[in-house]
Amino acid sequence: SQQGEEDPQALSIQEGENATMNCSYKTSINNLQWYRQNSGRGLVHLILIRSNEREKHSGRLRVTLDTSKKSSSLLITASRAADTASYFCATDLTGGGNKLTFGTGTQLKVEL
Amino acid sequence: GAVVSQHPSWVICKSGTSVKIECRSLDFQATTMFWYRQFPKQSLMLMATSNEGSKATYEQGVEKDKFLINHASLTLSTLTVTSAHPEDSSFYICSALSPGSDTQYFGPGTRLTVL
């Protein structure tokens, strides 16, 4: 069953604006990962945040994790048209043997 | 970064035939690979965990006799969709677990269309 719910389902912004996507999950995790998927393509790993971490940065990406609320957010700053894609969070559940459970995804469209 | 390939990238087959999809880790050895299925505009659903040298572990609701998985080497896992039907049409994606890491690297996916 789906572990993560993402919100919003779809997001449309102008180039240069920031985009924030949220992910909620239900049970204990080892880590949470964010992936990007361009239409009809494979997944690109963006960032992994462990359960004992609260925030992580990678370039224009900022991820936060609140294990008390079982939620994470992905912030893309100064967005570009090339950021247009679907973004998924995926949880590596405690005792799950590295299996990932994917969220429902957010479709981001960045317009010029 | 680590590279995972899939072959073929797309395949069209007739109902009742079998289709084999290959997943290769190109620059690292992967004792564990995963197979996912993704229907249009939906998220990825894990089908099975493929472990080198042992039987695959299937998720609930996935028929192991229909989706045959073989992980014969540290760089290759195959998924065979047997007696394919139109409802098996989907995007199949594999991933390989990087050794000593929690990171999975994903292949580009295989689009299967069953007529």
CB contact under 8 A, B102 and A97: no
Tell me which of A2-16, A20-34, B1-15, B34-48 is least confident: A2-16
| Residue B1 reports pLDDT greater than 70 | no
Closest C-alpha among A64, A62, A108, A56 to residue A85 = A108
Alpha carbons B112 and B38: distance in angstroms, whole number = 11
pLDDT at B15: 97
| Residue A2 reports pLDDT greater than 60 | no
* Neighboring chain A residues of B45 at a CB cutoff of 8 Å: 102
Give the chain A residue whose CA is nearest to the CA of B33: A99
pLDDT digits (tens, 9 = 90+) for A26-41: 989 999 999 999 988 8
For residue B99, is the peptide bond before it cis, meaning its omega torsion is within 30 degrees of 0?
Answer: no
pLDDT digits (tens, 9 = 90+) for B95-108: 999 888 888 899 99
Q: Which among A31, A92, A105 has CB closest to B43?
A: A105
| Residue B90 reports pLDDT greater than 60 | yes
